[in-house]
Structure 1
Amino acid sequence: MKTKLIKFLKYASILLLLVVIGITGFYFSVKNNVFGPVYTTQDLLNYKNETASIIKSEDDVIIGKFFNKNRTNTTYKELPKHLINALVATEDARFFEHSGVDSRSMFRVFIKSILLGNKRSGGGSTISQQLAKNMTGRSEYGFMSMPVNKTKEIIIAQRIESIYSKEDILTLYLNTVSFGENIYGIESAALRYFNKKTKDLTVEESATLVGILKANTYYNPHLNPDHSLSRRRVILNQMANYGYLTRKESDSLIKLPLKLNYNNLKSNNKSGHFIAFVEKESKQILDSLNTANNTAYDVLKDGLVITTTLNSKLQEHANTSFYEHLSIMQELFDKQMANSRTLQNQSNNIAEQHLKKMKISLDSAQIKHKQTIFKWSGLEQDSISVKDSLLLENKLLHAGLIALSPKTGAIKTYLGGINHQRYAYDQIFAQRQLASTFKPILYATALEYGKQPCDYLDNDKITLSDYKNWSPTNADNTFGGKYSLQGALLNSKNVPTVNLFMQTSFVQLDTIWNRLQFNSKLENKPSLALGTANASIYEVARAYSSFANYGKSVTPYAITKIETAKGEIIYEHKEVEPKTVLNETTAKQINEILQNAINRGTGTSLRTKYQVTMPLAGKTGTSQDYTDAWFVGYNPSLVMVSRVGCDSPKLHFTSGLGAGSSLALPLIARTLRFLEQDQTLKKLYSEQFLELTENEELLLACEDFKEDTGFDKILDFFKKKETSFEKQQERIQRKAERKERRKARRDND
């Protein structure tokens, strides 16, 4: 027995010695940069906070910033004693006793984090180690990530302690740590949540801010006040436990309500979606520059100055139009929802589906919490259940609007949603059914391949037997007679459009669709004629720019120039020769027809109600059952596209209030009305369309509509009202083949 014990102790000692040697060897391998460089004391002395990059409009207005760390530094003298006490009591009780590493916590970290790989074990890092992590970040080393990073932080923490005083360390820590919402440093946090300087914080406010550090979203006092109060209670109890407060003082402070004076300057930015778009574009530009020139520019750190194409005045006018129009339409839609049991049931079903996806039970979903709610008057906090908040979200009207130069692609206005802070998803890129905004693409295809504006189309009722007897109708439910191509388009007539679709080669239509750079695939179905294809606001603006630019396509862009903080230009946008995608004649004919759509067709309210006088062509669009409303307005100097609709197509207006002319057109009409009051903007964006030649005018010289003659009526009597889409397609194919054969014979002759 004794021999076995001696043998066991021998092997245990050897094993322990090997472990010690292994740990020591690992420690020194990390220290000697085997796993990448470790900050030296000189690196730590030279440490500087990152600098935000500035974003400017074309008219030299600062519209935003890019940064990794939005901070305003403070000094130790400005840190209240109770803030230091709250931090030390919670994060590192023996801070003033150790030299960067707390040996009592090391064993727990070694067992849980390193040996067991539990990344959430926490509790072992001192303030100095946390500062080391904040200053240097962490790298990925596979299964060795945790031990390597922890060891690096230990080494750097010891170096920090060797060159900085405890007061300096606390100051550095509080200037670098994250307080959520992309803000860094105690001064920025105090301004964000309490709208005051750090030196003016009260004890309970300091406890609230220290409480955020454990999980800066979950304990965010603005987003989750109940969680924040709970965490504040823990902080105040810790302060009492370590003698920084009496129990009576902590109990008294715990009873106080949470009072914020929330001040988020960034959230008030009305160009938030555009700034996000610019950030993405700037990173792509800098990646290319860095690769080509072996540089390391970083938009989030290097204090660059980015000049954009955005016109701040036009952007402001568009924002005002959003508020004025959508706030009214939201009230009208809320009333409709309140009076429609069908829509309420739909909304309830949608909410319950979301709850299932989030794995929240119906009982839990009824519990009320304080939440931030969007209203057009501003973001508000209210005590509301998860389900009720979903029901509110369901009925919100979302919208997007873009304006760009059709000659260059420069983006002049960009509103990607109703509130970027609350709804970061960019509506500019949302794929929704095009409705009648698709029609000019179909008509352009027909004109491009031989049709004329004065060719006439039947307006007689048709039924397609191979599509469940589908029978298209016009918005006014009228039939009979014939519409010219231009008359059918400017009045947005459905029946003649379906007839035109059945006379047009799908291959040709698909070719034009791809030339105009749409991403989705077209389906060869008769309903396509009425706009069942999906596309985004961005794609529609790019496509209609080809009409405005007389058949030449441009690529939208947002950045004209990037400079360093010292004024050195490192990037400047170069104009690219536009690509021809349509014949100039086709574009001019579409432009003339769509000008008439504004002057005497579906867009007349722009002239009559909103009194916009500038040269303009345009097209409204209303998806089936009013699920989405579209409007495009343009001239040779500006293309504007707007779309409005709920997140779910199941929720929508049930009347003409949801039509493109009522819901989407006013966003552009109001913006243009503001524009015309500014002489500088009016001059920039009121370019006239090219005048038509005498021959071009003759090609458009016909009536929009003509009644059937007696002979037409006799023919209609014998004509089959029921037809097959497949047979129509076969006729088109045979006709195209005959045309090709005739052409080939002529070429041979």
Structure 2
Amino acid sequence: MLATIKRHPKLKWALIIITSLIALFFLFFGSIYFGMWGKIPTTKELTELKQNKATQVLASNGDLIGKFYIFDRQPIGFEQLPSYLIEALIATEDVRFYEHDGIDNRSLLRVFFKSILLQDDSAGGGSTITLQLAKNIYGRRDFGMFGIVINKMQEAVIAKRLENIYSKDEIIQLYFNTVPFSDNTYGIESASLKFFNKHTSDLSLEESAVLVGMLKASHYYNPRIFPERSRLRRDVVLMQMAKYDYLTMDEAENAKMQPLILDYKSYSNNKGLAPYFREQIRQDVSKILDTLKNKDGQKYNIYRDGLIVHTTLNYAMQQLAEEAMTEHMSELQQQHEISYGDYAPWKRNKNILNEAIKKSQRYQSLQKEGLSETEILTKLEQKHPTELFEYDGMKTQNVSTIDSISHYLKFLNSGFLAVSPDNGAVQAWVGGIDFRFFKYDHVAQSKRQVGSTFKPFVYTAALESGMDPCSYFSVREVTYEDGWTPSNSSSEGDDPNMNYNLKTALSRSMNTIAVKVLMETGIGNVINQARKMGIESDLPQVPSIALGTASLNLKELTSAYTSFVNKGHYSKPYYITRIEDGNGNLLAEFKPEISETKAFSEDTRKIMLNMMQATVNEGTASRLRYKYGLQNDIAGKTGTTQDNKDGWFVGITPELVSVTWVGADDHRIGFRNTGIGQGANSALPVFAKLMQKMNASSEFNNITRARFAPLSPELAELMECPPQERDNFFERLFSGKEKRKDPENEKDKKKKKGFFKRLFGGGKDN
């Protein structure tokens, strides 16, 4: 042999070259194996595989309402993978999966000869599921011209190690939990929930084929963007399953006949169900996690550690609440714009527009760059295609930044919160009309004047101070020491010589009487009563507080009203029940916060509920009955602030307390008139539409069919009095324009009954 080589120098050089190439290959492979091109995970590291996992936010029934993630991934167990999903993967991606040890040599030879030598693209890629798993877990790096070779060799080493550590079923499980799908989605569970709104275990054969088909090119076969491409690729997967005897040909053909139907659910921060609620959860959980450490002594990360956040949110009610708000606000927005016509303040009031321009992010960014005022405005006036929010769909228009700012100034916004009164558990939370364009949360962040929704605090304090519910007060206007003269919105129709009892005055929301009740009770007593009911915000010690000039947060107002159906105890809204790690281990748990002390007596509670039921049955909220046809047991209170800037409605049922606010984010923009801006028109319909939707579903029977307990015979008798009475001749003769003094002065604190009242009995005069 050696002699032959010596006689043939070319053969000698060929052997030298081959030997050198082999040596170079092994040296090159050795450099990769030993980490000279980047560390390859060890067997120990592969045994302890840990990847970024999405934190899940769950509704009270366990339904997924959102996730926080860098990569959208939710790991599941092998037993949750349907057999046809596994079979579809194997038939399409690696038919000899159960025969090789991570590298399919037959496939590699086929690729070498057919793809490289014969240029036949039908040969496939020769990659196994295990090799793909290695790539999914560790990705690929840029090594220049040798990148593909180095990455492939690294993946081969990892694949061999994975096969030595894990069983075939475990590799399948790891693969499905790490493989990337379209729309920044990782893992089969996340993809199943996103594209079909169901768990992996519930996927049909056709749906499984769609998801497996997407793996060839996730964007190209994205069923949301390219449904026809995705359907054709699905059919290829089905035929592959038939080819390798996982399906009969008839089964494959029948499956191909099925339409491709998606139920797409986005779990991005800006879209999907309850985005304002999810953002509040993100903020709260991040703060909670700062106080917790894992077994390694490290802080948990909301984006990487795959935590599970359980909440009180009612998934179905939240959907209906968002629908109700959108339906009503789209109609109200039209009324609002039509009422102003060409005189809209967001167009004609230069101060409002200029201030909004200067507050805009774009203006401030240009200002930081050192541009002058003129230069900034010139840039902001340049037109460019912009996607603008409208209720009837997004519209792309050629507008300037200033045009866009003016466009968004016109929109009314809203906040809605519904809680279970017995424990404060949040059932629905709608912070605004669209989180994508209006980030400000009107449930958690906003404080607005509450208007007449403050009046029940006044009347509660009055009853607690001993005032008889059949006390009568004149509707006549009174001027107080500071020159302030409150009037009623319907003052032109009120008889100044008419007196009304408390129930009628509250149900009709009479401003003049509310202030008189406040003055008789004492401002300090009313404020103390509000504090007992959970109001924590500053309350001005002025007579106008009776009409709701105090600015309150929607959450604390909701909390205060729960006391009327929770035996006098207010419940603070709470929404996180517990936080678990990915294995279900409890990390933190939260309980309801219910006041220990009763805010008022049981008799006062029942009387107030009865008075607020009258608001719905015959008062300012009666359109719940005659317009929306609601027959539920409902108590409530409407509210409208000065110049129609804010509209409110508090809806109370035995099992649900909700508060709705509606108004413009800029306080200087109010409704054009009371007909549109009053709480009964601007805010009440959100509650009304929600109740209509809940009435139509038996799922909410425990709420919609709940009934208030009737008044006891004693309380019913106590309230048995005419709703109104006229002043007699002598009282009208000697009465004139009244001037009241500050009730905080001792000499005015005690109010005496009029002569005829004392003589013949009856309530206190005014």
TM-score category of the 2 structures, normalised to the smaller one: 0.5 to 0.7
Q: State the TM-score, normalizing by the size of structure 1.
A: 0.65
Q: Assess if the C-alpha contact under 8 Å between 1:542 and 1:553 holds in 2.
A: yes
Aligned to 1:435: 451
Q: Assess if the C-alpha contact under 8 Å between 2:647 and 2:682 holds in 1.
A: yes
Secondary structure at the aligned position of 2:463 is classed as helix
Describe how 1:520-539 pairs up with structure 2 within 5 A.
520-539=537-556
Aligned to 2:53: 51
TM superposition shift of 1:62: 1.3
What is the letter of the counterpart of residue 64 of structure 1? G
Which runs of 5 or more structure 1 residues have no equivalent in the other structure?
1-38, 79-134, 136-155, 171-183, 203-261, 737-749
Tell me the alpha carbon deviations over residues 680-722 of structure 1, each in whole angstroms, 9 at most, x when there is no partner: 3022443222222121112211222211111221231xx4x25
| 2:536 maps to which of 519, 544, 548 | 519
Describe how 1:132-151 pairs up with structure 2 within 5 A.
none
Sort the Cα spacing of 1:285 and 1:714 in 2 relative to 1 into closer, same or farther, 3 A.
Answer: same
Sort the Cα spacing of 1:343 and 1:336 in 2 relative to 1 into closer, same or farther, 3 A.
Answer: farther
Describe how 1:149-298 pairs up with structure 2 within 5 A.
165=150, 188=183, 199=217, 266=268, 267-287=270-290, 290=293, 296-298=299-301
Higher-Rg member (1/2): 2
TM superposition shift of 1:296: 4.2
Q: Distance in 1 between matches of 2:559 and 2:153?
A: 55
Sort the Cα spacing of 1:729 and 1:484 in 2 relative to 1 into closer, same or farther, 3 A.
Answer: farther
Q: Distance in 1 between matches of 2:562 and 2:153?
A: 58
Q: Assess if the C-alpha contact under 8 Å between 1:59 and 1:312 holds in 2.
A: yes
TM superposition shift of 1:552: 0.8
Aligned to 1:248: none
Q: Distance in 2 between matches of 1:281 and 1:342?
A: 37
Sort the Cα spacing of 1:422 and 1:547 in 2 relative to 1 into closer, same or farther, 3 A.
Answer: same
Does 1:384 find its partner at 2:386?
no
Q: Distance in 2 between matches of 1:650 and 1:460?
A: 31
Aligned to 2:707: 688
Q: Assess if the C-alpha contact under 8 Å between 1:54 and 1:306 holds in 2.
A: yes
Q: Assess if the C-alpha contact under 8 Å between 2:421 and 2:562 holds in 1.
A: yes
Secondary structure at the aligned position of 1:547 is classed as coil
Q: Assess if the C-alpha contact under 8 Å between 2:475 and 2:513 holds in 1.
A: yes
Q: Assess if the C-alpha contact under 8 Å between 1:70 and 1:188 holds in 2.
A: no
TM superposition shift of 1:312: 1.4
TM superposition shift of 1:670: 0.5
Q: Distance in 2 between matches of 1:168 and 1:431?
A: 61
Alignment RMSD (CA, Å): 4.0
Aligned to 2:463: 447
Sort the Cα spacing of 1:550 and 1:71 in 2 relative to 1 into closer, same or farther, 3 A.
Answer: closer
Tell me the alpha carbon deviations over residues 481-507 of structure 1, each in whole angstroms, 9 at most, x when there is no partner: 111112111110011111112212222
Aligned to 1:349: 351
TM superposition shift of 1:469: 4.8
What is the letter of the counterpart of residue 400 of structure 1? G
Using the aligned pairs only, state the percent identity.
29
Which runs of 5 or more structure 2 residues have no equivalent in the other structure?
1-38, 76-92, 94-137, 156-178, 187-194, 196-213, 221-263, 368-372, 753-766
Q: Assess if the C-alpha contact under 8 Å between 1:366 and 1:385 holds in 2.
A: yes
Q: Assess if the C-alpha contact under 8 Å between 2:346 and 2:353 holds in 1.
A: no
Aligned to 2:497: 480
What is the letter of the counterpart of residue 610 of structure 1? Y
Q: Distance in 2 between matches of 1:200 and 1:552?
A: 55
Sort the Cα spacing of 1:343 and 1:295 in 2 relative to 1 into closer, same or farther, 3 A.
Answer: closer
Q: Distance in 1 between matches of 2:691 and 2:265?
A: 32
Aligned to 1:127: none
TM superposition shift of 1:286: 4.3
Sort the Cα spacing of 1:605 and 1:292 in 2 relative to 1 into closer, same or farther, 3 A.
Answer: farther
| 1:705 maps to which of 683, 704, 724 | 724
Q: Distance in 2 between matches of 1:530 and 1:423?
A: 29
Secondary structure at the aligned position of 1:549 is classed as coil
TM superposition shift of 1:438: 0.6
What is the letter of the counterpart of residue 398 of structure 1? N
What is the letter of the counterpart of residue 320 of structure 2? H
Secondary structure at the aligned position of 1:519 is classed as coil
Secondary structure at the aligned position of 2:648 is classed as strand
Q: Distance in 1 between matches of 2:599 and 2:441?
A: 28
Aligned to 1:238: none
Q: Distance in 2 between matches of 1:364 and 1:688?
A: 61
Q: Distance in 2 between matches of 1:402 and 1:549?
A: 17
Sort the Cα spacing of 1:56 and 1:265 in 2 relative to 1 into closer, same or farther, 3 A.
Answer: closer
Q: Distance in 1 between matches of 2:613 and 2:295?
A: 46
Sort the Cα spacing of 1:725 and 1:562 in 2 relative to 1 into closer, same or farther, 3 A.
Answer: same
Q: Distance in 2 between matches of 1:538 and 1:198?
A: 49
Q: Assess if the C-alpha contact under 8 Å between 2:54 and 2:74 holds in 1.
A: no
Tell me the alpha carbon deviations over residues 251-287 of structure 1, each in whole angstroms, 9 at most, x when there is no partner: xxxxxxxxxxx99652331310111222334345545
TM superposition shift of 1:424: 1.9
Q: Assess if the C-alpha contact under 8 Å between 1:72 and 1:187 holds in 2.
A: no
Q: Distance in 2 between matches of 1:729 and 1:380?
A: 61
What is the letter of the counterpart of residue 301 of structure 1? R
Does 1:665 find its partner at 2:684?
yes
Aligned to 1:393: 408
| 1:320 maps to which of 317, 320, 323 | 323
What is the letter of the counterpart of residue 450 of structure 1? G
Aligned to 2:583: 566
Sort the Cα spacing of 1:292 and 1:728 in 2 relative to 1 into closer, same or farther, 3 A.
Answer: farther
Q: Assess if the C-alpha contact under 8 Å between 1:638 and 1:685 holds in 2.
A: no
TM superposition shift of 1:734: 6.2
Aligned to 1:584: 602
Aligned length: 544
Aligned to 1:305: 308
Aligned to 2:478: 462
Sort the Cα spacing of 1:616 and 1:292 in 2 relative to 1 into closer, same or farther, 3 A.
Answer: farther
Describe how 1:350-429 pairs up with structure 2 within 5 A.
350-357=352-359, 358=364, 359=367, 361-429=376-444
Aligned to 2:208: none
Q: Distance in 1 between matches of 2:474 and 2:331?
A: 40
Q: State the TM-score, normalizing by the size of structure 2.
A: 0.64
Sort the Cα spacing of 1:495 and 1:291 in 2 relative to 1 into closer, same or farther, 3 A.
Answer: farther
| 2:612 maps to which of 594, 598, 615 | 594
Sort the Cα spacing of 1:305 and 1:200 in 2 relative to 1 into closer, same or farther, 3 A.
Answer: closer
Describe how 1:22-171 pairs up with structure 2 within 5 A.
48-70=50-72, 165=150
Q: Distance in 2 between matches of 1:521 and 1:549?
A: 25
TM superposition shift of 1:416: 0.8
Secondary structure at the aligned position of 1:339 is classed as helix
TM superposition shift of 1:365: 2.3
Q: Distance in 2 between matches of 1:301 and 1:310?
A: 24
Aligned to 1:619: 637
Sort the Cα spacing of 1:201 and 1:636 in 2 relative to 1 into closer, same or farther, 3 A.
Answer: closer
Q: Assess if the C-alpha contact under 8 Å between 1:503 and 1:728 holds in 2.
A: no
Aligned to 1:606: 624
